[in-house]
Amino acid sequence: KNEVEQSPQNLTAQEGEFITINCSYSVGISALHWLQQHPGGGIVSLFMLSSGKKKHGRLIATINIQEKHSSLHITASHPRDSAVYICAVRYLTQGAQKLVFGQGTRLTINP
């Protein structure tokens, strides 16, 4: 079983729809990251959170530490939101910080 599981793997929606991408993990973590990877391959960090909720523009990220679960929401989705969204968790193992990535969720927003 992967340490980080994302769902769904692929998501297609119409412009304007509310989008939710989920991330579940199996280890105790110090932080969780949401990243965005555009078709060209470059990755941009969207959020880093260890508790509660963060909001940036139309993007909202929440985390429930007890349930080991995080969600990324996009309100009023737009075709330019089409990308792969990656969840990554950071935890301490053998004295070093380790970052483990989910397999990504491919989001396509149709006009």
Partner 1 sequence: DGGITQSPKYLFRKEGQNVTLSCEQNLNHDAMYWYRQDPGQGLRLIYYSQIVNDFQKGDIAEGYSVSREKKESFPLTVTSAQKNPTAFYLCASSRSSSYNEQFFGPGTRLTVL
For partner 1, the binding residues (CB under 8 A) are 2, 4, 9, 30-31, 33, 35, 40-45, 48, 86, 88, 90, 96-104
In angstroms, what is the minimal distance from the CB of 56 to partner 1?
14
Burial of 52 (0-12, 13-18, 19+ CB in 10 A): exposed
In angstroms, what is the minimal distance from the CB of 77 to partner 1?
23
Helices (H), the chain: none
**Residues 36, 28 contacting (CB under 8 angstroms):** no
User: Is the CB of 62 or the CB of 101 nearer to partner 1?
Assistant: 101
In angstroms, what is the minimal distance from the CB of 48 to partner 1?
5
| CA gap 58, 53 in Å, rounded | 13
User: Is the CB of 93 or the CB of 111 nearer to partner 1?
Assistant: 93
In angstroms, what is the minimal distance from the CB of 22 to partner 1?
15
Structure-token pair, residue 92? 């301490």
Structure-token pair, residue 111? 């006009």
User: Is the CB of 17 or the CB of 69 nearer to partner 1?
Assistant: 69
Structure-token pair, residue 47? 């959020």
